Amino acid sequence: MIETDGNFTHNVILFGRLLRGLGLNVNTGRMIDLLSALQFIQIGSKADFYYTARCLLVRRQEEIPLFDEAFNAFWQKPGDRWSAPHREAISERRQKPAFVPPPLKPPSSEMPGNGANRGNTNHGKPIIQVVMTYSERELLRKKDFSECSGEELEAIKGLISNLVWQLGTRRSRRLEPGNGRQLDLRRTLRRNLKYGGEVLEWAYRQPKYKNRPLVIIADISGSMERYTQLLLHFIYSLSEGLEQKVEAFVFSTRLTRISRQLHGRDVERALNQVSLLVPDWAGGTRIGDALKRFNFNWSRRVLGQGAVVLLISDGWDRGSANLLSVEIARLQRSCYRLIWLNPLLGYEEYKPLARGMQAALPYIDDFMPVHNLASLEELAQHLHLIERARGIQRQL
Partner 1 sequence: MTMPSVDSIDDLQNALHRLLYIADRGLATSIFLAIKLGRPLFLEGEAGVGKTEVAKVLTEVLHADLIRLQCYEGLDERQAVYEWNYTRQMMHIRLAESRGEKVEEDDLFGPRFLMRRPLLQAIEGSREKPVVLLVDEIDRSDEEFEAYLLEILSDFQITIPEIGTIKAQQPPVVVITSNRTREVHDAIKRRCLYYWIDYPSFERELQIVNAKVPQAPSQLAREVTAFIQEIRRAELFKAPGVAETLDWVAALVALSQEKLEPRIVEETLGVILKYQDDVDKVKSQGIDTLLERVSMVGL
Ordered DSSP codes for 277-320: H-S-TT----HHHHHHHIIIIIHHHHSTTT-EEEEE------S-
Instruction: With CA atoms as reference, report the closest residue to 215 among 243, 240, 238, 241.
Output: 238
- Chosen residue from 139, 189, 277, 385 binding partner 1 by CB under 8 A: 189
Between CA 215 and CA 247 the distance in angstroms is 5
Residue 99 falls in which region: left (phi positive, over 0), alpha (psi -120 to 50) or beta: beta
175 touching partner 1, by CB under 8 A: yes
Closer of 174 and 394 to partner 1 (Cβ): 174
Between CA 69 and CA 5 the distance in angstroms is 25
Q: What is the DSSP letter of 108?
A: P
174 touching partner 1, by CB under 8 A: yes
- Chosen residue from 93, 300, 388, 390 binding partner 1 by CB under 8 A: 300
Cβ–Cβ under 8 Å, residues 238 and 165: yes
197 touching partner 1, by CB under 8 A: yes
- Chosen residue from 173, 179, 265, 349 binding partner 1 by CB under 8 A: 173
Neighbours of 44 (CB within 10 A): 12
- Given CA atoms 321, 351, 252, 213 in this order, what sign does their dihedral have? negative
Strands (E), 186-295: 204-211, 214-219, 246-251, 255-257
Least distance to partner 1, CB of residue 271, Å: 23
Residues 302-321 that bind partner 1 (CB under 8 A): 302, 304-305
- Chosen residue from 1, 55, 185, 277 binding partner 1 by CB under 8 A: 185
Least distance to partner 1, CB of residue 286, Å: 15
Closer of 137 and 205 to partner 1 (Cβ): 205
Least distance to partner 1, CB of residue 251, Å: 17
301 touching partner 1, by CB under 8 A: yes
Q: Is 326 helix (H, G, I), strand (E, B) or coil?
A: helix
- Chosen residue from 46, 105, 191, 245 binding partner 1 by CB under 8 A: 245
Least distance to partner 1, CB of residue 363, Å: 15
Strands (E), the chain: 169-178, 182-183, 204-211, 214-219, 246-251, 255-257, 308-312, 337-342, 366-369
Number of shown-chain residues binding partner 1 (CB under 8 A)? 23
- Chosen residue from 193, 277, 282, 385 binding partner 1 by CB under 8 A: 193
Closer of 229 and 244 to partner 1 (Cβ): 244
Chain positions contacting partner 1, by CB under 8 A: 172-175, 185-186, 188-189, 193, 196-197, 199, 210, 245, 295-296, 300-302, 304-305, 326, 330
